Amino acid sequence: MKKVLNFINGEWCESSTGKYVSVLNPATGEVLAEVTQSSKEEVDRAVEAAKAAQKSWRLVPAPERAEILYEVAFLLKQRKEELAQILTSEMGKVIDEGRGEVQEAIDMAYYMAGEGRRMFGDTVPSELRNKFAMSVRVPVGVAGLITPWNFPIAIASWKSLPALVTGNAIVWKPATETPILAAEFVKIYEEAGLPKGLINLVHGSGSVVGNAMVEHPGIDLISFTGSNEVGKDINGKAGALLKRTSLEMGGKNAITVLKDGDLDLAAEGILWGAFGTSGQRCTATSRVLVHVDVKEELEGKLLDRIGELKLGNGLDETVKVGPVINRSSLERIDEYVKIGQEEGAKLLAGGKIADGEGFENGNFYLPTIFTDVKPDMRIAMEEIFGPVVSIIPIQSLEEAVEINNKVEFGLSSAIYTKNINQAFEAMRDLDTGIVYVNAGTTGAEIHLPFGGTKGTGNGHRDSGVASLDVYTEWKSIYVDYSGKLQRAQIDNY
Touching ligand UN1, residues 101-130 (CB under 6 A): 104
**Start-to-end C-alpha separation, the chain:** 76
Shortest CB 266 distance to ligand UN1, Å: 18
Cβ atoms of residues 367 and 353 within 8 Å: no
Catalytic pick among 90, 248, 299, 383: 248
Shortest distance (Å) from residue 434 CB to ligand UN1:
7
139 versus 269: smaller Cβ distance to ligand UN1: 269
Tell me whether residue 422 or residue 467 sits nearer to ligand UN1 (CB atom): 467
* Nearest-approach distance from CB 81 to ligand UN1, in angstroms: 20
What is the nearest approach in angstroms of ligand UN1 to the Cβ of residue 253?
A: 10
Shortest Å distance, C-beta 134 to ligand UN1: 35
Q: Does 467 bind ligand UN1 (CB under 6 A)?
A: no
Which of 363, 442, 456, 467 is the binder for ligand UN1 (CB under 6 A)? 442
Please list, in sequence order, all residues whose beta carbon lies within 8 angstroms of the beta carbon of residue 11, skipping any fewer than 6 positions away. Answer: 196
Q: Report the alpha-carbon distance of residue 309 to residue 326 in Å, rounded.
A: 20
Complex with ligand UN1: residue 216 or 281, whichever CB lies closer = 281
Backbone angles phi, psi at 82, to 5 degrees: -60, -45
- d(CA 27, CA 115) in angstroms, rounded, equals 39
8 Å CB contact between 301 and 288: no
Told to check if 281 binds ligand UN1 by CB under 6 A, we report: yes
Chain centre distance of CA 25 = 21
d(CA 269, CA 446): 20
Beta bridge partners of 288: 255, 391
Build a one-symbol-per-residue string for 199-238: x at contacts with ligand UN1 by CB under 6 A, - elsewhere: --------------------------x-------------
Measured from the CB atom, the residue of 63 and 443 that comes closer to ligand UN1 is 443
Cα distance between residue 24 and residue 31, in whole Å? 5
Identify which of 40, 58, 64 has the alpha carbon closest to the alpha carbon of residue 143: 58
Nearer to ligand UN1, 54 or 150 (CB): 150
Q: Is 174 left (phi over 0), alpha (psi -120 to 50) or beta?
A: beta
Taking CB under 6 A as the binding criterion, the range among 13-21, 136-144, 161-169, 279-287 that sits at the site for ligand UN1 is: 279-287
CB of 30 to ligand UN1, least distance (A): 25
**Contact in structure between 106 and 77 (CB atoms under 8 Å):** yes
Which of 200/285 has CB closer to ligand UN1?
285
Cα 173 to Cα 12: distance, rounded to the nearest angstrom: 15
- Kindly list the distances between the CA atom of residue 313 and the CA atoms of 89, 273, 355, 363, in Å, as whole numbers in the listed order: 9, 19, 14, 10
Binding characters for ligand UN1, 128-167, by CB under 6 A (x = yes): ----------------------xx----------------
Q: Does residue 443 touch ligand UN1 according to CB under 6 A? A: yes
DSSP code at position 465: G
**Contact window for ligand UN1 (CB under 6 A) among 72-80, 179-187, 281-289, 422-430:** 281-289
Using CB under 6 A, pick the residue from 168, 246, 283, 417 that binds ligand UN1: 283
- Residues facing 199 on adjacent strands: 170
The residue within the footprint of ligand UN1, chosen from 282, 309, 325, 333 (CB under 6 A), is 282
Q: Could you say whether residue 271 binds ligand UN1 (CB under 6 A)? A: no
Check if the beta carbon of residue 70 is closer than 8 Å to that of residue 63. no
Shortest Cβ 61–ligand UN1 spacing (Å): 31
Convert 92-112 to b/e letters by CB count within 10 Å (16 or more is b). Answer: bbbbebbbbbbbbbbbbbbbb
Tell me the C-alpha to C-alpha distance, in Å, between residue 248 and each of 88, 145, 318, 448.
Answer: 23, 12, 33, 15
Nearer to ligand UN1, 83 or 377 (CB): 83
Q: Considering only 127-135, 164-172, 256-264, 441-449, which stretch makes contact with ligand UN1 by CB under 6 A?
A: 441-449
Query: In this complex, which beta carbon is closest to ligand UN1, that of residue 38 or of residue 147?
Result: 147
Q: Say whether 268 is catalytic.
A: no
Report the residue number, 348 or 389, with the smaller CB distance to ligand UN1: 389
Q: At what angle do helices 62-78 and 80-91 cross, to 10 degrees?
A: 70
Residue 384 contacts ligand UN1 per CB under 6 A: no
How many residues in the shown chain lie near ligand UN1 by CB under 6 A?
10
In sequence order, the β-bridge partners of residue 257 are 290, 416
Residue 444 found at the interface with ligand UN1 (CB under 6 A): yes
Question: Would you name the residues annotated as active-site residues?
Answer: 248
Query: Residues in the site for ligand UN1, rule: CB under 6 A?
Result: 104, 150-151, 225, 281-283, 442-444
